[in-house]
Amino acid sequence: MNRIGFVINPIAGMGGAVGLKGTDGMAEEALARGAAPRAAGRAAEALRALAPYAAPLTILTCGGAMGSDALSGAGIAHKVAYHPSDTTSAGDTMAACRAFCAAGVEAIVFCGGDGTARDIASVVGATVPILGIPSGVKMYSDVFAITPRAAADVVAGLADGTTCTRDASVMDIDEGKYRHGELDRTCYAEVRALSLPAKVQAPKCAFRSESDDVSKHDIARFAAEFMQDGSLYIVGVGSTTQAVLASAGIEGTLLGVDLVQGGRLVCRDATEQDILQAMQAVASVKILVSPLGAQGFVFGRGNHQISPAVIRRVGRDNIILLGTPHKLQNTPQFYVDTGDTTLDRDLSGFMSVVCGYHLAARKAVCAG
């Protein structure tokens, strides 16, 4: 494969840091809350890494912010096959994919999230393999590379035949329900996806068993002890962290980030700015997170509120990972994808994961 379609969803991922948990239909609200565009930077990171290997590829793209600007910035030759409207939309993404298919592309690479993957799948189905450069908030679909640089490796592998294709699922959620703490996931399409070992993420799994429930209870008992140290705790998304809050009688947000200190809820469903502001008033801050099941992402999937600025102020030594033994057994690798490659490298290496009452395991964390 050497004839590639390339498209960027310019608004993808803007809603994460400002607590919107997605950007579908919420771009104006995200901007009003001070969100910064994210997709262009993520695409640029992938394209810079791809540039030395792009010569054998014929790349078709969209005009302006949907592709051409980023490719020109990376010095990669391309042809514009579709000119989007001034205010880009899902309709432009789908129209671009129809233009790509009419021009005979052999794969489509996109920068966006699950909603973008869903728009593309609605046009190409399983006829053209796809690959996502992760730029959304959640990204439950297993069509995404683990990082933008990993996406570059997958695309570069097309020229020498090391990249293959596999069956994958495009998942998406009801963002309206998600913003109110309800996770309603649906598989919208079965597609073909580009794949390269250790470079493409697995689908997210929710581990639920009697043994898991017991482990979460034991983790919560341990957390109840160490969280009495006076620190401000930034508590990430997921059922394990929520079990910790529930055991303390705190009603947190299953799918958001909460701030807790001294057994009291300081801020529910905090944004990045809420976190940074709260940190100014305390001497000690710690982050409590549980990596996504099977995918293994510690940061970069669903918790953009815990931004690079937040993580740098907290420091690696004050990050506490939680995970049940079942999750650890079924999640081969942990990843970080904060959007700051230097920070990702600093976070890499072995970290302890609290997995029971006064129990911890060592797990490798990789920048991808």
The span from the CA of 324 to the CA of 65, in Å, is 42
Strand order in the sheet with 107-112: 79-82, 58-62, 3-8, 107-112, 130-134, 185-195, 164-173
Both tokens of 199, joined, read 């470079």
Residue 202 has a pLDDT of: 78
Pick from 53-62, 82-91, 258-267, 271-280: least confident: 82-91
Mean pLDDT, residues 223-250: 94
Mean pLDDT, residues 350-366: 94
Number of H helices, E strands in the chain: 13, 16
56 CB burial (10 A radius; 0-12, 13-18, 19+): exposed
Q: Please list the residues that pair with 285 across neighbouring strands.
A: 232
Mean pLDDT, residues 314-333: 92
The set of residues, in sequence order, having a beta carbon less than 8 Å from that of 3 and lying 6+ positions away, is 57, 58, 60, 103, 104, 105, 106, 107
pLDDT exceeds 70 at position 200: yes
Mean pLDDT of the chain: 89
Residue 330 has a pLDDT of: 83
230-255 burial code (b ≥16 CB/10 A, e <16): ebbbbbbbbbbbbbbbeebebebbeb
pLDDT in tens, 132-154: 999 988 788 999 999 999 999 99
The span from the CA of 327 to the CA of 212, in Å, is 8
Highest mean pLDDT among 4-8, 288-292, 330-334: 4-8
pLDDT exceeds 70 at position 182: no
Pick from 61-75, 180-194, 241-255, 340-354: least confident: 180-194
Label residue 229 by pLDDT band (50, 70, 90).
very high
Label residue 183 by pLDDT band (50, 70, 90).
low
The span from the CA of 224 to the CA of 220, in Å, is 6
Helix (H) or strand (E) holding 84: none
Domain 3-195 - what CATH class? alpha beta
pLDDT exceeds 50 at position 179: no
Residue 255 has a pLDDT of: 81
Mean pLDDT, residues 100-128: 96
Domain segments of the chain as ranges: 3-195, 210-366
pLDDT exceeds 70 at position 282: yes
Q: Which of 246, 243, 248, 242 is nearest to 224 (CA)?
A: 248
Label residue 181 by pLDDT band (50, 70, 90).
low
Mean pLDDT, residues 56-72: 97
Other CB atoms within 10 A of residue 367 CB? 20
186 CB burial (10 A radius; 0-12, 13-18, 19+): exposed
Residue 136 has a pLDDT of: 84
Q: Which of 182, 185, 4 is nearest to 78 (CA)?
A: 4
Sign (positive or negative) of CA dihedral 26, 309, 293, 45? positive
pLDDT exceeds 80 at position 363: yes
Mean pLDDT, residues 299-326: 94
Label residue 19 by pLDDT band (50, 70, 90).
low
Phi, psi of 302 (to 5 degrees): 80, -5
pLDDT exceeds 90 at position 178: no
Q: Which of 6, 4, 37, 8 is nearest to 111 (CA)?
A: 8
